[in-house]
Amino acid sequence: MDGALRSGTNADLAESLQTMIVIEPLAHLFPANMPQHAMAVRLAPDPAAQKALGDLDDRAAWSSVYHEGVRQAAEAAELITPVWAR
């Protein structure tokens, strides 16, 4: 869900779900309000990816941000697989 102005993801509005995968590309700026009881996986940029993000309006950084996302993909897959397979 697009968080718009209320929160980064609005993940707390899905508190009735038992399983949740939340993708937070701007988690370091707008962290999600996660339901405490949900089996949740949060995917967010690590410090290296956050550094690559830099100025969000700088389109020249998009290529390096993409590569940081690809680098994090294997770890994300390991986090998602047990939740997705349920």
Residue-wise pLDDT tens digits, 68-86: 999 999 999 999 998 887 7
Residue-wise pLDDT tens digits, 36-77: 766 888 899 999 999 988 888 888 888 999 999 999 999 999
SS3 letters across the chain: CCCCCCCCCCHHHHCCCCEEEEECCCCCCCCCCCCCCCEEEEECCCHHHHHHHCCCCCHHHHHHHHHHHHHHHHHHHHHHHHHHCC
